[in-house]
Every structure is written in C-alpha cells, then in structure tokens.
C-alpha cells in the first residue's frame, strides 16, 4: 500500500501547476522566498511584479502578455537547483533571480546550458568571472562597490587604519575580502577583522574588540537586523569614530530598527529608494501604494531588470530572441530618457557587470541624506 | 493470495514504477526523485542507528556533509567517483566510530545533545576552514561520474545511478537486519541492561550501528555532491539532522520501509504541495505533531495497524469482526 | 600605560555586565526547561521558540490598541494559556505514554510550527520592541552600561528569588518539589500530582514570557530568535545540572559570561564552538552537571 502511495506521489509530480496561455510570454522568478533570504527576495519579487503589471497594462511586450511565475528555493542549494530546473522545464523567456550568491552558483550552469538570459540579484564578485554569457547583474558586484567606498575612506575620511566588522556568510565574506584587497592597495591598515554570525543578537564582545583596536574608522558589513543591533551596542558603549558602511547599513530598515543609534553613519549607496532621482521617487510612491511597505534596493533591482528586458526586446530586437537579448545587452547603456523604467542610466559590460552612478549618504536625524553623487567607474 | 506473495508483487510494481518514472517526468521531476533517493540513503543510515539500535543521533547531517566534501574535493581534483564514495563511507564510518566511542556511554537525551554539538561544530569547521573546504564560497562545478565510459551527466542517467545505489544500500541494510547483528541491535534497543546481562556486547553493537549509520550518511553525501554539482556548508546544519530525524520517525522508526516513506513525505510532498507555498513548512510541522499523537510508530506503523484491522481470511470464519 | 589598564578594566566590566544580562535570559529559559524535565520527563526542544513567541503576543496586543503595560499582561496571559495549558493538554499528555522520543519529536515539530506560524501570520521582518527601562546608559567605573541590561538582570533575579521562595516555603511549592523527586510516593502522600505537573508548565510559560519581554527590546522581535536561544538554554541546563533549579541558574550565568569573553578574546569565527565543547565535556565527564545529582538508570 505504501508503494502505491509513493508511486502515486511520483507520478503526480509531473502535473504542472499554473499553465500560461499559449500567447503569453513567460518570466521565471526564482528567489529565497522563505529561509534566510526572505526579506530581500520578497522585495525583489514585488519590484518585478510591479514592473510586469505596469507593462501588461500598456499592452505587454510586443503585444504579448507577461506571465511571471515565482519559484521558492527556500535558501537551500538543493532546492535552488530543483527550482531552476523546474523553471527551465517551463521554457521561460528569461529568468530573474536568485539573489543569494550561493543559490546563484548552484543554479546558473543550468540556465547557461539552456541558453536562457538570467538577471541575478547576487553581488559576489566571482559570479561574473565564471564565463557565463547569459548572466547579468542588476546591481554593483562587490568588486565594483568596494573601490568606491575605499576611495571615500582614503580621500575624505582620511583614515589610516580601519576595523572591519562583517557577517560570516557569502555576502559578508565576499564584501570583506574585496574590501581588504582595496584597503591594502591604498595602504590603509586593517587593525581588527571581526566576524559575526548571521542572526547574531549580542554584539557586546564585538564592540569591545572594535574599540580595543583603536581604528580611525569602522567599516560595518552585515545584514540589516544585525547592523541595527550592532549600531545600538556601539553607540551604547560611547564610540565616536566614523562608522562607515554600504547600502545595507544606511538603509531605511536599519534606521528604523536602530533609532537614534543610526545617526551619523555614512556609507556608499549603489541603489536605494531614497536617492534624489525623480524616477526613483516615483517608483517608491507607486510601490508603497501597491504593496503597503517601503521598498528597499532589491525591489529596484527587480523592477529595473524587467524594464531592461522589455527595452531590449522591443526597441533593439523587435522580436523574442534569448540569445539576441544576451548579445545585445553586452556593452549596452540604457538611459531613462529611452526607457523610464530603468530609473537610472545603466551600462552592462561584456561580463554582465553593471555600471551606474552611485551615491554617498549619511544618516541625519533619522533620514538617509545623499551627500555626494559618484560617477560611473568606466567611461561615460 | 498470501501475504508474502502480495509483498513480492508490490515490490515488483514499485521497481517498475521507479525505473519507468523518468520517462514520464521532466528534468525537474527526475531531479527531485534523485534527491529523494539520495536522502533516503541517509535516512536508512539513521534508521539503523535510531530505529534498530535505539540511539538518538542528531549528527547525521554532519556525516552527509563530510561525505559531500570528500567527494567534491576528490572529484574536482580528478579522482574517480568510485574512489570518492568508498573513501566517504570509510571516513564517515571511522569518524562515527570515534565519535561513538565516548558518546555512546551516555543515553538518550544526553546522546542527542552530544551529537547535536558535534553536528554544529562540524558545520562551523566546514564554514571557517576555507583552505580545505572553500569556506562559505563552497566548491563549484563538481563533475558527475563516468561509469565504464558512460557519462551520468544527464538527469536521467544520474537518476539511475542514484537508484542503483539506493537498491544496493537497501539490500545491504535488509541483509544486516535479518542477520544476527540485526537481532542484536534490536535486543540492545529494547532493553540494554537485559541484553548486557544476557552476554550481548552492547557496546560493540551500538558502536557498529552508529558507525554504519554514519557511513551511509557519507555515501549519501557523496551522491548529493554529484547531484547538485556544488557543495557549500549551508545545507549541513542542525536543520538537516532534525529533518532526517523527522523523516525516520514519520516514516516509521525501526521499520525497514520507514525511511522510504519518510523521505517521500519530506522531499516529494513539499513539491506536490507547492500550491501551499509559504504554508508548507507550517503544514508539515502540524502533520508531524498530529501523527505523533495518533500514531507514534509512524506511517508504516499506521499501515501495519490498518492491516491488522482488516477481516482475517483464516479458517476461523463464521466469527464476525468486532 | 595607566589608560591601557583602565580600558582593560572597563572592557572587562562591559563584557561582564553584558554576559550577566544574556546569562540571566539563558537562566530563565533553563530553569523552566529543568522544571519540565524533573516533574514530567518532558524535553522541550521548542524552548527557544517559547522565548521568541510571547513578544509577538505583546506586539499583537499593541496593534489592537492596548497600551504597553496592558499589552504585557495580555502577552503573559496568552503565553501561559498557549505555552502552558495548551502545550500540556494537546502535546505533552497524549505523547507521554508513548515514551520520551515521540515527545522529543513533537516538540521539535512544535518549535518549527511556532517559528513558521509567526513568520507567516505576523511577518518575516524584524520588529522593534519597546524596552522596559529607559533607553539610557549609566557610567559605572568608566564602562557604559545600559539601563536595560541592569533591568534584565534585576528582573531575572527577582523572578528567580520569588520562584525559590515559592518552591521552598509554600505548601504548593513543596508539593511540587516532592512530585519532582518521586511522583509515586507523592501520590501516595495525597499530593495532586497531575495538578502539580500542570503548575510546572504554567511556571515555565511564565518564565519564558518574562525572558521574552526582557530580551526582545535588545534582540528585536524576529521569528528566528528562538534558534540559538533554545540551544543555549539546553546547554545551560545541562552544564548547570539537569535535575537542579540552582544548577540552571548557575549554568545560564556561566554560559552568558563565557560566551561573551570567548567572543572577545578567542576566535570570532568559532565563537559558538566553545559552549558546545563545554556541553560535550560536561556530558561525557560529569553528566550530572556542575550542581546536579547523578541519575540512576532503571531496568
């Protein structure tokens, strides 16, 4: 009897859920909708959904309706590969996600073999070094954002020594490795290398270590909640040296959770919903209205990815051609004048890395304020 | 039809279904079935340790991880896969033996805690020792094995590769359980003091069960590495150990087919229930709890009870069922 | 030179206070854990989630419009009902006659259920939680100590002292102790054993609710809070002595302090390893824990 059960289950799995009409164009979105990456991937998915809804309201791409199917990889590599395979079996036009770099690594080969363009949210530097012509980023890789922040620390803060506080997952370690490389290149000494755990709640010991190192500045590279806890603890212990971070540190979520402890932190922001670019502000309002919460940078990544796909397919190709899409995107710059949905002018290079202007921000009185706009890394 | 004839027929049907399944499934379905097969191997190992020998182990994920890393490191450096998983089995058997030696002196919940600690420590090592394991970045592009010149890279080929291993492991486990060793395991599980009083070398038998369970975890890990073609530390945490434990118990701890059914519930059912989306894990936990209340011997136990309730076909006819 | 020594002392004080504050939370969770084991052989693998959940009851009460003090009372009441009464009637009682292992499995599943439930029905993102004390710092010996940490330590001390008084000096308390030591004899003596066991569940729920309210302002309310907390509660209970409430207190405080000092002065990447190693060493070489009594194995 139990064999029948197992057999029935196995056979039933072949049944597809959610058939799209023959004329629709399919997008597959794979994300960490549960598990550790839930918050980032939910933002990404909702940003992409907003873009899809807007485009469909105006008639779709080349007259065809977009149907986006979401696949949850549960922040587990085995599941990520399974969901990628499932998505590919459905013959999508493009694949969006994953966001977590580990999930990208385990699944990207399948998309590459199937020759389907893939727009990822992952920021680990090695993802674009693997020779996959179908992989495209939607935000700075860590190898691009770290030089910018290193320049800031060297030129503006003029620190001679830095303490690094990082979260021990692939996001944090990748950031710390790239950061360390950039610091060494500029002759700034790293006097404390403090690893923390994802989900860590008690930061007293880490603050004590950071204080004892007597650095000129402290670079904080952890996820949002841990950043908030760390900031509260470090303010509590009365530390006054500059606290510098990246997009996650100066984000709205951290400001909300850390309260007053967030004031005075500075950072490099690749993308955020609070930058003073009119298109972004409009996006933020629309998103807030549609989903009832404020978007973070992952939402912008999802949104712009869909519009980039639309632009290239409609304006550059005039037809649905996966290989053509990938080829056209290499070396292409899309400006908001041509495609408002791209929000900020974006360039993709031949490896799939992205180049955009970015910003320096500071938290003043509980709000993120942009203090400077940084130019693109490559040629204008 | 006698009971054993029925059983043989059912086995044949199951074999046919498992062999034919890939032809009716897309690559995704084949992948999930392969994952089921690989997970069941680890669950069979845990069933030996827990179900038959009565030792609560929360370390199985660590052994799966050790097997996976050994296989990944060896195959990415050109070693043949056969060597990789033999080594994985041997290494995990040895580590299991070494761990069991001190750990099995304590009972039940204490053993659970020691194995829990071991699992977490091994996970930390996987993550921190970048020079050996690639740390948090993992080991990418693990090749799939080539057997007698035939590549197993395609989903279907690799599925059969996993299936063959599952059959081999299941056969070995079946033989072990039917042997005097197996009976000794059960004696130790039911009443260790009495078994000792009867002259059974309880220590050696529990150690053997524990080490064998660990070794099977290693084999499972080696196959897992080739299935995903990417190994990083994240899957080998306590969560997997707990999941394997739930699998064995839900399927039916101490029953031969328990791991098969438990694996189906843990690996296949979530895919079936995808429509439940976010509520899947919530539902799974609820099912486990309800199952524990009404049938702590697991689904197989439930099946056994239902079978007992069927009207008997013996000559004592005329007596109506109560 | 003098400043260096001084900053060493302030650092030490900082770590000590932080360690005592977290240790107090571990102790509260460990005491309940130990009580449940002593009286009803229940190993509650969901104890961490028992500390995570009450904060969400309070937040839900506040969402409905209750002011903080009322919300806290409502939260504790809800916890005692759900994590005390319902837990015992629906999960523990049906399972106990099947043995320890099915109960362990059930509590593992329960922990997962509570975690996923909060994630689905409340939200996956962390929420801030109002602190009991003011959000201030005081300076003690040059170290900046937050009032919140002191409140946590003080509240835990008061709760534990009250519990000890209750157990030692009231009739019900002594009956509970008798039940823990030998239920059969207690029954013969006319003690309503079932009711005593129920009381331990209620006390456990109250203790974890208190721990939740004390610690969530610092940790932020998130569905994953229970994971490490639960593990540390087990370690504290076992290291201290699984059959002694005093042991749970000592174990908790010790663990909190050791964890903080190890993180500051030893490897950060292996920070969580030290408590685990201590656990293994204690189980293997002194299974009764630092303050416990050796349990006999029955046939």
For C2-285, CATH gives: 1.10.3470
Q: Do C11 and A257 touch (CB under 8 A)?
A: no
Question: Does B146 map to a domain?
Answer: yes
Q: Which two tokens stand for residue B129?
A: 């020792």
SS3 content of chain C, % helix, strand, coil (to 5): 75, 5, 20
Higher-confidence position of A368 and A94: A94
The confidence band for A3, taking pLDDT boundaries of 50, 70 and 90, is low
What does the pLDDT average to over B110-136?
A: 90
What does the pLDDT average to over B118-146?
A: 90
CA distance B14 to A367: 63
Tens-digit pLDDT profile for residues A6-55: 445 444 443 443 445 668 899 999 998 877 777 788 899 999 999 999 99
Q: In what order do the strands lie in the sheet with A333-334?
A: A333-334, A346-348, A354-355
CA distance B68 to B43: 16
Full-model pTM: 0.87
Higher-confidence position of B287 and A121: A121
CA distance A28 to A44: 13
Q: Is C4 exposed, middle or buried (0-12, 13-18, 19+ CB in 10 A)?
A: exposed
Place of tokens 């510098």: A244
Look up the CATH superfamily of A143-269+358-374.
Answer: Response regulator (3.40.50.2300)
What is residue A154's predicted lDDT score, i.e. its pLDDT?
92
CA distance C36 to A37: 35
| Chain B residues within 8 A of A109 when measuring between CB atoms | 141, 229
Count of helix runs (H) and strand runs (E) in chain B:
15, 4
H or E element that contains B128: helix B108-128
| Chain C residues within 8 A of A295 when measuring between CB atoms | none
| Chain B residues within 8 A of C284 when measuring between CB atoms | 102-103, 105-106, 114
pLDDT of C146 over the 50 cut: yes
Give yes or no on whether A20-140+279-348 and A143-269+358-374 have one common fold.
Answer: yes
Of the partner residues A39, A168, A204, the one whose CB lies closest to the CB of residue C18: A204
Tens-digit pLDDT profile for residues B226-270: 999 999 998 998 889 988 988 898 888 888 888 999 998 888 877
What is residue A4's predicted lDDT score, i.e. its pLDDT?
53
Do A29 and A68 meet the contact criterion of CB atoms below 8 Å apart?
A: yes
B286 to chain C nearest CA, in Å?
A: 7
Q: Which two tokens stand for residue A307?
A: 């519009």
Strand partners, A120: A137
DSSP state of A127: G
What is residue A39's predicted lDDT score, i.e. its pLDDT?
79
What does the pLDDT average to over B109-134?
A: 90
What is residue A300's predicted lDDT score, i.e. its pLDDT?
94
State the DSSP string of C84-116.
IIIIIIIIIHHHHTT-HHHHHHHHHHHHHHHHH
pLDDT, averaged across chain A: 88
The confidence band for A89, taking pLDDT boundaries of 50, 70 and 90, is very high
What is residue A56's predicted lDDT score, i.e. its pLDDT?
94
Query: Would you call C19 an interface residue with chain A, using a CB distance cutoff of 8 Å?
Result: yes
pLDDT of C293 over the 80 cut: no
Q: Which two tokens stand for residue B213?
A: 């369970």
Domain boundaries, chain A: 20-140+279-348, 143-269+358-374
A113 to chain C nearest CA, in Å?
A: 34
Domain boundaries, chain C: 2-285
Tens-digit pLDDT profile for residues B4-44: 777 788 778 888 988 998 888 889 999 999 999 999 999 99
Of the partner residues C91, C103, C283, the one whose CB lies closest to the CB of residue B106: C283
The confidence band for A363, taking pLDDT boundaries of 50, 70 and 90, is very high
Tens-digit pLDDT profile for residues C226-272: 888 888 998 999 888 877 788 888 899 999 999 888 888 887 788 88
Nearest Cα residue in chain A from B251: A2
pLDDT of A347 over the 90 cut: yes
Q: Which two tokens stand for residue B105?
A: 């002196």
Q: Smallest Cα–Cα separation from C176: which of C160, C155, C191, C163?
A: C191
Higher-confidence position of C148 and A322: A322
Of the partner residues C113, C235, C280, the one whose CB lies closest to the CB of residue B286: C113
DSSP state of C193: H
What is residue B1's predicted lDDT score, i.e. its pLDDT?
52
What does the pLDDT average to over A265-270?
A: 91
Q: In what order do the strands lie in the sheet with A161-167?
A: A189-196, A161-167, A217-221, A243-245, A266-269, A358-364, A367-374
pLDDT of C84 over the 50 cut: yes
Place of tokens 């309070």: C58
Domain limits for position B88 = 25-236
Q: Which two tokens stand for residue A310?
A: 């639309």
Report the phi/psi class of residue C50: left, alpha or beta, with left for phi > 0 and alpha for psi in -120 to 50. alpha
What is residue B278's predicted lDDT score, i.e. its pLDDT?
63
Question: Does B16 map to a domain?
Answer: no
Distance from chain centroid for Cα C55: 14
The confidence band for A215, taking pLDDT boundaries of 50, 70 and 90, is very high
pLDDT of C297 over the 50 cut: no
Residue B262's Cβ-side half-sphere holds a number of Cα atoms within 13 Å equal to 35
What is residue C2's predicted lDDT score, i.e. its pLDDT?
47
Nearest Cα residue in chain B from A17: B275
Place of tokens 């007698």: B148
The confidence band for A65, taking pLDDT boundaries of 50, 70 and 90, is very high
What does the pLDDT average to over C167-178?
A: 87
Q: Which two tokens stand for residue C113?
A: 């259920």
Angle at A20 between CA A15 and CA A21, to 5 degrees: 125
Of the partner residues A6, A72, A105, the one whose CB lies closest to the CB of residue B277: A72
Look up the CATH superfamily of A20-140+279-348.
Answer: Response regulator (3.40.50.2300)
Number of domains in chain B: 1
Q: Is C20 exposed, middle or buried (0-12, 13-18, 19+ CB in 10 A)?
A: buried
* Residue C195: Cβ within 10 Å count: 12
What is residue A233's predicted lDDT score, i.e. its pLDDT?
87
Question: Does B268 map to a domain?
Answer: no
């Amino acid at each position: 009897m139990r064999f029948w059960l197992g057999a029935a289950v196995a056979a039933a799995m072949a049944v597809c859920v959610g058939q799209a009409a023959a004329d629709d164009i399919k997008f597959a979105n794979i994300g960490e909708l549960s598990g550790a990456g839930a918050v980032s991937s939910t933002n990404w998915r909702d940003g992409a959904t907003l873009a899809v809804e807007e485009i469909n309201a105006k008639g779709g791409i080349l007259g065809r309706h977009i149907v986006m199917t979401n696949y949850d990889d549960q922040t587990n590599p085995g599941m990520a590969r399974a969901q990628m395979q499932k998505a590919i079996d459905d013959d999508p036009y493009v694949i969006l996600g994953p966001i977590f770099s580990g999930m990208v690594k385990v699944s990207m080969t399948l998309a590459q073999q199937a020759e389907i363009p893939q727009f990822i949210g992952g920021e680990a530097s090695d993802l674009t070094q693997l020779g996959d012509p179908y992989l495209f980023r939607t935000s700075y890789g860590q190898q691009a954002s770290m030089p910018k922040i290193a320049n800031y620390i060297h030129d503006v803060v003029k620190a001679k020594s830095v303490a690094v506080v990082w979260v021990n997952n692939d996001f944090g370690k990748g950031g710390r490795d790239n950061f360390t490389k950039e610091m060494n290149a500029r002759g700034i000494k790293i006097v404390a290398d403090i690893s923390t755990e994802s989900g860590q709640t008690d930061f007293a010991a880490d603050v004590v270590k950071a204080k004892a190192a007597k650095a000129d500045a402290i670079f904080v590279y952890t996820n949002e909640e841990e950043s908030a806890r760390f900031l509260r603890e470090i303010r509590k212990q009365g530390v006054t040296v500059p606290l510098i971070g990246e997009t996650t540190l100066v984000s709205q979520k951290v400001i909300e959770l850390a309260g007053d402890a967030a004031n005075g932190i500075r950072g490099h922001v690749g993308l955020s919903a609070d930058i003073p670019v009119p298109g972004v502000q409009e996006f933020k309002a629309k998103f807030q209205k549609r989903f009832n919460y404020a978007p973070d940078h992952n939402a912008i990544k999802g949104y712009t990815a869909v519009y980039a796909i639309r632009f290239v397919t409609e304006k550059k190709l005039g037809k649905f051609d996966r290989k053509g899409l990938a080829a056209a995107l290499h070396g292409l710059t899309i400006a908001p004048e041509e495609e408002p949905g791209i929000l900020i002018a974006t360039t993709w290079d031949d490896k799939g890395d992205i180049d955009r202007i970015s910003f320096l921000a500071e938290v003043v009185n509980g709000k993120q304020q942009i203090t400077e706009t940084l130019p693109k890394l490559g040629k204008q | 039809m006698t009971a054993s004839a029925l059983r043989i027929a059912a086995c044949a049907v199951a074999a046919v279904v498992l062999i034919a399944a890939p032809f009716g499934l897309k690559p995704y379905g084949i992948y999930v079935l392969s994952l089921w097969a690989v997970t069941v191997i680890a669950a069979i190992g845990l069933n030996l340790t827990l179900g038959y020998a009565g030792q609560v182990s929360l370390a199985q994920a660590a052994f799966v991880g050790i097997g996976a890393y050994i296989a990944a490191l060896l195959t990415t450096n050109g070693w043949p896969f056969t060597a990789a998983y033999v080594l994985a089995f041997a290494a995990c058997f040895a580590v299991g033996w070494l761990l069991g030696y001190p750990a099995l002196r304590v009972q039940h919940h204490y053993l659970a805690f020691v194995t829990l600690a071991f699992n977490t420590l091994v996970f930390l090592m996987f993550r921190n020792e970048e020079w050996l394991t690639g740390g948090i970045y993992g080991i990418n592009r693990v090749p799939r094995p080539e057997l007698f010149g035939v590549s197993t890279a395609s989903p279907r080929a690799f599925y059969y590769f996993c299936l063959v291993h599952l059959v081999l492991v299941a056969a070995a486990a079946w033989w072990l359980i039917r042997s005097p060793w197996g009976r000794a395991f059960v004696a130790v599980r039911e009443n260790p003091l009495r078994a000792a009083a009867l002259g059974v070398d309880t220590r050696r038998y529990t150690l053997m069960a524990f080490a064998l369970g660990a070794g099977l975890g290693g084999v499972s890990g080696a196959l897992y590495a080739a299935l995903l073609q990417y190994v990083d530390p994240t899957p080998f945490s306590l969560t997997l150990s707990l999941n394997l434990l739930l699998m064995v118990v839900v399927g039916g701890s101490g029953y031969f087919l328990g791991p098969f059914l438990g694996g189906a519930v843990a690996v296949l059912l979530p895919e079936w229930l995808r429509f439940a989306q976010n509520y899947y894990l919530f539902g799974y936990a609820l099912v486990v709890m309800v199952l524990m209340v009404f049938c702590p011997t697991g689904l197989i136990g439930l099946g056994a009870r239902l079978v007992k309730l069927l009207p008997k076909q013996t000559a004592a006819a005329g007596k109506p069922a109560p | 030179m003098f400043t260096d020594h001084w900053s060493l002392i302030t650092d030490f004080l900082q770590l000590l206070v932080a360690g005592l504050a977290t240790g107090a939370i571990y102790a509260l969770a460990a005491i309940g854990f130990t009580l449940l084991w002593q009286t009803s052989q229940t190993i509650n693998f969901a104890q961490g989630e028992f500390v995570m959940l009450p904060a969400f009851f309070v937040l839900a009460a506040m969402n409905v419009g209750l002011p903080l003090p009322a919300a806290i009372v409502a939260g504790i009441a809800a916890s005692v009902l759900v994590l005390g009464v319902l837990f015992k009637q629906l999960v523990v009682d049906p399972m106990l006659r099947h043995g320890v292992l099915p109960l362990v499995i059930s509590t593992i599943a329960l922990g997962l259920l509570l975690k996923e439930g909060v994630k689905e029905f409340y939200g996956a993102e962390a929420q801030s939680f109002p602190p009991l004390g003011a959000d201030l710092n005081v300076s003690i010996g040059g170290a900046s100590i937050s009032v919140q940490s002191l409140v946590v330590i003080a509240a835990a001390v008061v709760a534990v002292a009250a519990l000890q008084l209750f157990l030692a000096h009231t009739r019900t308390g002594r009956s509970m102790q008798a039940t823990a030591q030998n239920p059969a004899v207690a029954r013969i003596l006319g003690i309503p054993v079932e009711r005593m066991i129920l009381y331990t569940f209620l006390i456990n729920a109250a203790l974890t609710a208190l721990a939740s309210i004390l610690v969530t302002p610092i940790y932020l309310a998130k569905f994953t809070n229970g994971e490490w907390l639960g593990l540390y509660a087990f370690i504290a209970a076992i290291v201290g002595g699984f059959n002694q409430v005093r042991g749970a207190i000592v174990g908790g405080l010790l663990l909190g302090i050791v964890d903080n000092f190890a993180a500051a002065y030893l490897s950060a990447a292996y920070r969580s390893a030290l408590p685990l190693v201590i656990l293994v060493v204690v189980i293997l070489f002194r299974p009764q824990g630092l303050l416990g009594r050796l349990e006999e194995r029955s046939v």
